[in-house]
Amino acid sequence: MIKFAVMGFGTVGAGVAEILQKNSALLEARLGEPIELKYILDIRDFPDSPFSNRVVHDFETIVNDEEVDVIVETIGGAKVAYDYTKRALLAGKHVVTSNKELVAIHGCELLKIAEEKNVNYLFEAAVGGGIPVLRPLHQCLAANEIEEVFGILNGTTNYILTRMVRAGVTFEAALREAQSLGYAEQDPTADVEGHDACRKICILADLAFGREILPEDVPTEGISGVTLRDVELVEKAGWRVKLLGRALRQEDGRVSAYVAPHLVRAEHPIAGVEDVFNAIMVRGNAVGEVMFYGPGAGSLPTASAVVADVLDAAQHQEKRKKIGWTERKAEQIAPWDALSARQYFRVKDGLHQVDEVFPGSEILSHQEHEIAFITPYMSCGELNRRAKSLQLCARLWVLE
């Protein structure tokens, strides 16, 4: 009999309980023994929930109960969740989480504690919700030197961009729509400004390259500056605008990561990822490119990943799974102005000025006093330097 506890009975926590009810026979068969949700830790009571009798308010009850093998943390944030996770691991409990903020900031330390205590700290649900991506990256692609990971890591912004393309509405209108549908929060900053995607690309980079990248290492730009004009203009030229988190291994072994809106060719598999769906692309030196696609959020999809991790932790109780990365070293992170890229510009200048500043550009649209174009490849530092001589209206990255 495996007994576990859930800390935080919100969207994901409630999903975990629902799956446990719905698929209990199947979970027991796969695990080879019964599984029981013994406690739910929350500050609230849930008198109407079928699980109301498991609700407790004191963390000590859980952490001191020897019967509890696995603790699920779906509290969110990096304060209480950090404290409880650390204490749970130190008490020899396996911990499973969907908390991207905590893993992005404290993952390295928490995994080290888990290693010392020979317990599992698993977080498949922290990136891509229900999409299997961390375990495949870490295990199925283990024969590869990973060269790049990138993806649509935030469903809210992907929904907004999809509506701008498909319905021709502005960013502001699409955001209001997303809010009314419950896809965006009342304060949408973490989503639309790219912070959520930033945490996820940190975790992907940590796992893919085996070394810690922190959110502060990741230049992050959201989509609040993306205009309908640019979305429509590039669409006509065969491109689509997508908010991507990207992490690349440079030839010298250093890693760069950033979050920004990109132009993606309409034929690229990631261009077809619409609405609230997420997709993560991994490029390895043996496999080439593989992509993982699915629901990046939501109660049951995210809980699907959490419960799979609970089963995995329960099955690896004696021999923990080897997951981890080395602590951040500044010299392993490449300054992003050294990155080589093409970029999209829309400027209030004439063709001869564009030609002078960025010779060899691909002109996407040319009207009087407004030119939209894609530059040739050069370093981001050089792109910045040259861009200063033009009257910039819009600037986007280009995925190629």
Phi, psi for residue 53 in degrees, rounded to 5: -75, -5
Under the criterion CB under 8 A, does residue 182 sit at the interface with a second copy?
no
Residue number with CB closer to a second copy (17 or 88): 17
**Residues in region 83-112 near a second copy by CB under 8 A:** none
C-beta of 26 vs 351, nearer to a second copy:
26
Kindly state whether residue 217 participates in binding a second copy, applying the rule CB under 8 A: no
The single residue of 200, 242, 348, 388 carrying the catalytic annotation is 200
Say whether residue 287 binds a second copy (CB under 8 A): yes
Nearest approach, Cβ of 124 to a second copy (angstroms)?
6
Stretch that binds a second copy, among 26-34, 101-109, 171-179, 236-244 (CB under 8 A): 26-34
Question: Min. distance of Cβ 98 from a second copy in angstroms?
Answer: 13
Strand partners of residue 264 = 240
User: Least separation, in Å, of the C-beta of 127 and a second copy?
Assistant: 12
Listed ranges 76-84, 136-144, 340-348, 385-393: which one lies at the site for a second copy (CB under 8 A)? 136-144
Cβ 223 to a second copy, closest distance in Å?
Answer: 22
120 scored as a contact of a second copy (CB under 8 A): no
**Which residues inside 234-253 make contact with a second copy, applying CB under 8 A?**
none
In the complex with a second copy, which residue's Cβ is closer, 222 or 294? 294
3 is catalytic: no
Tell me the number of residues near a second copy by CB under 8 A.
Answer: 55
- Nearest alpha carbon to residue 152 among 246, 11, 247, 30: 246
Which residues from 332-371 bind a second copy, rule CB under 8 A?
none
Considering the complex, what minimum distance in angstroms separates the CB of residue 322 from a second copy? 8
Say how far apart CA 69 and CA 46 lie, in whole Å: 24
Q: Smaller CB distance to a second copy: residue 92 or 288?
A: 288
22 lines the binding site for a second copy (CB under 8 A):
yes
Rounded to 10 degrees, the C-alpha dihedral 23/27/28/32 comes to 160
The reply on whether position 328 binds a second copy by CB under 8 A is: no
Do residues 369 and 390 touch, judged by C-beta distance below 8 A?
no
CB 399 within 8 A of CB 268: yes
Q: Please, how many CA atoms are within 13 Å of residue 30, restricted to the half-sphere of its CB?
A: 14
CB of 28 to a second copy, least distance (A): 12
Which of the ranges 41-49, 99-107, 285-293, 388-396 carries the binding residues for a second copy, by CB under 8 A?
A: 285-293
CB of 307 to a second copy, least distance (A): 4
When asked if residue 273 is in the footprint of a second copy (CB under 8 A), the reply is yes
For the beta carbon of residue 187, count every other beta carbon within 10 angstroms: 8
Q: Is 304 in the site for a second copy (CB under 8 A)?
A: yes
Chosen residue from 11, 23, 61, 332 binding a second copy by CB under 8 A: 23
Residue 151 within binding range of a second copy, rule CB under 8 A: no
Q: Judged by CB under 8 A, which of 17, 295, 333, 349 binds a second copy?
A: 295
- On the CB side of 297, CA atoms within 13 Å amount to 20
Task: Give the tokens for residue 207.
Answer: 């796992």
Distance CA 327, CA 112 (A): 10
Q: Which of 30, 79, 329, 366 binds a second copy (CB under 8 A)?
A: 30
Which residue numbers are catalytic? 200
Residues that bind a second copy (CB under 8 A): 15, 19, 22-23, 26-27, 30, 32, 124, 130-132, 135-136, 139-145, 267, 269, 271-274, 277, 284-295, 298, 300-301, 303-308, 311-312, 315, 318-319, 322
